[in-house]
Structure formats: C-alpha cells, structure tokens
Amino acid sequence: MDSISIIIPTRNEPYIGTLVKKLRKIFGNVEIIVIEKGKELPKVDAKVVRQKTDGLANAFFEALKYTHGNIIADMDGDGSVSGDTQVMISDGNKIEIMPIEMFVNQFFKKGEEGFKPVKDYLTLAHSFKKSKSPRKGYLKLEGYAELKPFSGVYRHWVPDIYRVKYRGGMVDATGNHSVFVSKSNWSPDKKISIRVKRTFELIAGNRFRGDHIIPLNKTILRIPNIKSIKVYSKRDVKRNKAKYKKIPSRIRISKDLCRLFGYYVADGSIVHKKSLCFSFNRKEQDYIADVQKTMKHIFNLRGKIYDNGNEVNIYYYFLHIAKFFEKYFGKGVRGKKIPTFIFLSSRKHVVEFVRGWVNGDGYLSFSSKKVFISTVDYNLATQLVWLLACHGIISTISRKVTRERYIQEKKIKRTISYEIMIPKVSNLFLKRQNCLPVTKGLITSKKLKIHNDYVYDIVGSEGESFYGGMFPVLLHNSHRPEDLKKIVSEMKDADLAIGSRFVKGGRTLDKQHRQIISFATRKIFAFILGLKIEDMTAGFFAVRKEVLQKAKIKNVPGYKILFPLAYKAKQNNFRIKEVPITFVQRKGGKSHVSVFRISGIRELYYELKMAILLRIGLF
C-alpha cells in the first residue's frame, strides 16, 4: 500500500495545529510536513522544516529531502466561521437573515462533519469586475452585491477561533479563514484595490494604519419585487362574509403601511392568538393617532383603546388581521422578524418602516443627529442592520446590560438589550447623508479564544465570497481537506492526479474570460508538447515521489509547476489522471492561480515560451 506525505507550505500560522488535526482525522497516521518560513511554529503533530524560498514548486522539492511517502500532496488548509455568524439565505422566493449554523445544520446528522452539496439556495455575494492594471496581488473591487447560487456547505470541529472586531461589528473565524481587506474605505462609487488576507494576518489599528474589512453597502436583490400582500384567503370569507366585506383581501405596500409595520415591530403584540395590540406611553398621543388613522385607512378597522395609567393599549379584535401580522413579522418579545417584502421594498418604504420603529422603540438625538433603536432580540437587531446596509445606510450594534434593581419595592430582573445606532453621516431622516463613514470596516482588535465547537462555511459562491457577520462584511474561502482526499484516492492507478474542472463531472464557476484563457493554454500545450490534459492551469494535484525526482524542476512560479511536471511525467511514461472537481478560483491574495497572473497576452506568451523551451529540452 502506498504511503502518503502531505505538504503544508506555510508561514507562522496559528491555525496550523487545527489543520494538522483535521488531516489526521481524514487520512489517519500519514506523514505531514510543514514547510515554514519565519518564526518558529507552535508544537504540532507534524514534521516542521524551514524553507528559504517561496513558491509551490520550491516547497515540493524542499519536501523531497524529508519525505518518506510515495505520494506527495499539497494542502493550504480550510477556513470557516462560528455558528452565530449571520448570513443572508434565499430560496428564490423569500429572504432570511439567520445564523449560519441554523442553515447548515439541517444538512448534517448529529456528529457528522465535512462537505454537503446544496441546490436551489442563494447567498449574498459580490460580483467582481476585471481591472486593467491592478497592483500585484490585489483586485479592483467594483459593482454591487447580489444574491448568487452556491454549491454546498461545510462543517467541522475546531478547538480555538479568532474574534475580529471592526467598526460596526465583529466576526469569529478560524485562523485560516480569509477575508477581503483594503487599506482604505470603500463605497460603490469608489474603486479601490483589495486583497485576500487570512484571519491571523489581519492588522488592527487606526484609520491611518490597519486593515479595512469590506462592508456591505448596496445590493441588487434579483428576485420578484413584491408590490402587494395577501391579508386573508377565500376560505376565511366563506365562514363570515359580512365581517370580511369591509376588509380588503390584498393591500398595496405603501409608506403608511410600512410605518405601521414599524410600530408593530417596536410596540406591537398578539394577545390570546386572536387580537392585535399596540402599546404606547400616554404622552405619545401623536403616535397613537397615527396608528388609529392608518389602521382605519388601510384595513377599515377601528380599535378599542384601554388607558392603564401611563400605558395606552389599542386592541383590534379581528383574528385574521392578527394572523396577518404574526405571519409576516412574528410575535413575542424575541420572536419577531423582518419579512422578505421589506428587504425588496424601495428606500422610501424602508425609511418609513424604520421611522415607525424609531417612534415606538427608539429616539433621535437632536444634538448629535444620531438615531437610536432598541430591542432585546439579537437576531432582530442584526436583521435591521442588514436591511439598512442593503440600502446604503450604515449602523452599529452595541450590547446593553441593565442590572437587577428595585423600583417602588418591586424587583426588576437583569435584562440584556441591543441598541442599533445610525450615525449622523448616515441618518436616513436627514436630507443629506454620506454613504459610508470614513472608518467603517476598520479592524480594531483581534484575539484568539477557546471555541471547542463546530465552525461553518458556504462553499462555491461566485468568487468564493459571501457576506456575513454582525454588520455584513465580505468573507472568502478556498480548498478543503476533503477535496485533497478525493485527489489522493485516485492515485491507486495514477502517478499524477490532477483536480480538473473541464473533464466529465467537473465544473467551474469562473468568469468566461478566464475559461477562454484556460482553453488557450490547453491548446498550446496539446499542439506543442502533445499533452492531452483538459485543465493545465489547475493548482490542486497529487504526485508520486519518483515523478518529482525524475522531473528535476526548479524555480517555477506557483501553479505553473504542473506544466513541466506533466510533460516530463509523459516523457517518462508515468500515468496521468484527471479527477473531476467543482472549483471557483480565488480572486486575490495568495492563491496558486491569481486572476491577474493568467489574464492577458503576457501570461499566454510566458506559457508559450515555456512550452517551446520544454520541447527543445532547455527547461
């Protein structure tokens, strides 16, 4: 039986211990070699050797001095986020903001880990555009966020995790999880260079020094726009036609209706499962009159008012109106939600929805011009922040704890609430407001903490990107150890196994111009070298040690090690096999295949030159 050696080219990365444990769980007692550059790594269950030069090719040949296995494979690692990270999920009809664990766990059995394919779901990702002359290792961020399909979900156990705090929120992620960062702030009208960094590499600082995580600013939510909503069904009418005659079966979404919904989310409730109730302070006579007027105008209903000293309650005793509000907005102090049609509404409707919420459970500071909204439900608070971000309105969440106290000898229990603050520059009630504060997304702190729980990931969305977090920021992912296992398993009848996007069963979510470049590269090497390999630009493969020993390749940048390796393997009559994989290339950072390195005539020229040198034996 062939022995396996797994190579991890790395620097001083704190996640390395977790990755090694993960590989041990998948592959068992295999030889793992960590090639490190920089300071000494923490103690891990692997052989650690130092590397003097960079590059995948150099890492492979450096490993030859230390490996005892017959099969050599490369592994970057896997990165994921904690279960409470909020993400946007859509099935094409409705939108939900939920913790990622709530969505992912439905595809796994108890104690199960790994990758699960998922169909017919969308998540909020960013559409990247090609840039003419980007900085080396950087990507130009342009365009807007929109709902994109993804191929699957991923779950695994880790002992520790990083907590990254940024202006506006925080996110918990493994050390190897990647995020998109820049050195300055971003808005849709401003084109800046961004790059991918792993969590442990992020730099906390101030506005003059430190990384900026890319925040969500505007979206294009491409699902049918909802202009009206159903109040009750025909079956309800049959029971009491006279009662339903005066109430419309469908209502048009208007500014007044959205403001009424805001009142309900703030101060509304469902009493005894059949009555709708709005509660106000006795001094809030304007808001009481507004609710009464709107309910009469839209639903043709008059409420019954109960004055209980400092509190005024407005009751509407109509079962299916109560069911209508409960269906779309939930009920209870911790059971409310923001429905899909609010996310799909225009900015003016969202402003009115927030206005009603502020009137009921918030306030506007006249001195600082800031808006404050309170709720005891964390999920509802994050839904509001996401809703505002989708319309270019920036907000932050802070946690407030009220200690146990006594008022007139009555014991008041300790409470935890969440306060959403909209700064002056984004105040949606002012005529002029900026799209983005200067320091939004700036990383303020990063700390490693004990986790001992599952972490989760969304896999295969466009650009390997998706938005997540308390305040949504652009996250990134890459190869998983399970992909490596699939490649290695094919080495039984091969000497070189290549993860291929273009063979039967494989697929790619790459942009069309990149697929054309891959096609051109394939044709160049097929014509000059006679290599009939479908995916010559793959950066994910496993190879037998004897192939590397006979190839004698040096100083090959990145993924291009496969070009001479495949040619010399063919010359020496080694068996080459392509393994179908679903692959979405990275868009920046330290990927083996960078979009900038393979785009344009320069890269095709380099590949053509390499093919000619290989053919005449000078490479």
Residue 75 confidence (pLDDT) above 70 = no
Q: Tell me if residue 532 falls in helix, strand or coil.
A: coil
71, containing H or E segment = strand 71-74
**Higher pLDDT pick, 157 / 526:** 157
Q: Residue 490 falls within a domain, yes or no?
A: yes
**Higher pLDDT pick, 215 / 208:** 215
CATH number (domain holding residue 511)? 3.90.550.10
Band (pLDDT 50/70/90 cuts) for residue 87 is very high
415 shares its domain with 274: yes
Choose among 207, 145, 151: nearest CA to 180: 145
Residues 95-144: tens digit of each pLDDT = 999 999 999 999 999 888 877 888 889 999 886 654 444 444 455 566 67
CATH number (domain holding residue 107)? 2.170.16.10
Band (pLDDT 50/70/90 cuts) for residue 239 is low
Q: What is the dihedral of CA 610, 611, 614, 619, to 10 degrees?
A: 0
CA angle at 19 for the pair 18 and 23, rounded to the nearest 5°: 120
HEC sequence for 100-132: HHHHHHHHCCCCCCEEEECCCCEEEEECCCCCC
Band (pLDDT 50/70/90 cuts) for residue 350 is very high
pLDDT for position 1? 46
In the 8-state DSSP scheme, what is residue 65? T
52 shares its domain with 101: no
Band (pLDDT 50/70/90 cuts) for residue 611 is confident
Q: What is the pTM of this model?
A: 0.72
CA distance 240 to 236: 7
pLDDT over 70 percentage in the chain: 69
User: Which parts of 184-274 fold into alpha helices (H)?
Assistant: 234-239, 241-244, 255-267
Band (pLDDT 50/70/90 cuts) for residue 511 is very low
Measure Cα distances from 174 to 120, 452, 463 in Å. 28, 12, 20
293 shares its domain with 343: yes
Residue 469 confidence (pLDDT) above 80 = yes
Q: Residue 336 falls within a domain, yes or no?
A: yes
pLDDT for position 9? 61
208 shares its domain with 253: no
Q: Residue 431 falls within a domain, yes or no?
A: no
Band (pLDDT 50/70/90 cuts) for residue 231 is confident
| Exposed / middle / buried, residue 52 (Cβ in 10 Å: 0-12, 13-18, 19+) | exposed
192 shares its domain with 302: no
For residues 566 and 496, the answer to whether their CB atoms sit within 8 Å is: yes
Extended beta strands in 167-274, E state: 169-173, 178-182, 192-198, 212-213, 219-220, 228-230, 250-252, 268-271
Q: Residue 433 falls within a domain, yes or no?
A: no
pLDDT for position 250? 87
Q: Residue 186 falls within a domain, yes or no?
A: yes
Q: Please, what is the average pLDDT of the chain?
A: 77
Q: Residue 537 falls within a domain, yes or no?
A: yes
Q: Taking the chain, what is the end-to-end CA distance rounded to the nearest angstrom?
A: 34
159 shares its domain with 116: yes
Query: 599: which 2 tokens?
Result: 């785009």
How many CA atoms, within 13 angstroms, populate the side-chain half-sphere of residue 116? 16
495 shares its domain with 457: no
Query: 472: which 2 tokens?
Result: 């949504």
468 shares its domain with 594: no
Residues 439-467: tens digit of each pLDDT = 457 888 888 888 888 889 888 776 667 89
pLDDT for position 463? 62
Residue 52 confidence (pLDDT) above 70 = no
Residue 53 confidence (pLDDT) above 80 = no
**208-213 mean pLDDT:** 76
396 shares its domain with 530: no
**408-421 mean pLDDT:** 82
Q: Residue 517 falls within a domain, yes or no?
A: yes
Contacts of 486 (CB under 8 A, 6+ apart): 499, 579, 581
178 shares its domain with 65: no
What's the domain count of the chain? 3
DSSP annotation string for 464-516: GEEEETTTTEEEE----HHHHHHHHHGGGG-SEEEEESSSTT-EE---HHHHH
pLDDT for position 371? 92
Question: How far, in whole angstroms, is CA 387 from its chain's centroid?
Answer: 16
CATH number (domain holding residue 278)? 3.10.28.10
Kindly report the number of other CB atoms within 10 A of residue 332's CB atom.
Answer: 10
Q: Tell me the residue type at 546.
A: E
41 shares its domain with 25: yes
pLDDT for position 64? 67
Domain of residue 555, residue span: 4-78+482-615
**Higher pLDDT pick, 290 / 441:** 290
Band (pLDDT 50/70/90 cuts) for residue 353 is very high
Residue 325 confidence (pLDDT) above 50 = yes
**392-400 mean pLDDT:** 85
271 shares its domain with 402: yes
Residues 538-583: tens digit of each pLDDT = 566 788 878 877 877 665 654 567 778 888 888 888 888 888 765 5
Residue 517 confidence (pLDDT) above 50 = yes
Question: How far, in whole angstroms, is CA 541 from its chain's centroid?
Answer: 27
Q: Residue 94 falls within a domain, yes or no?
A: yes
**478-502 mean pLDDT:** 73
Sign of CA dihedral 523, 525, 526, 531: negative
Range from 356-365, 386-395, 581-590 carrying the lowest mean pLDDT = 581-590
pLDDT for position 440? 58
Q: In residues, how long is the chain? A: 619
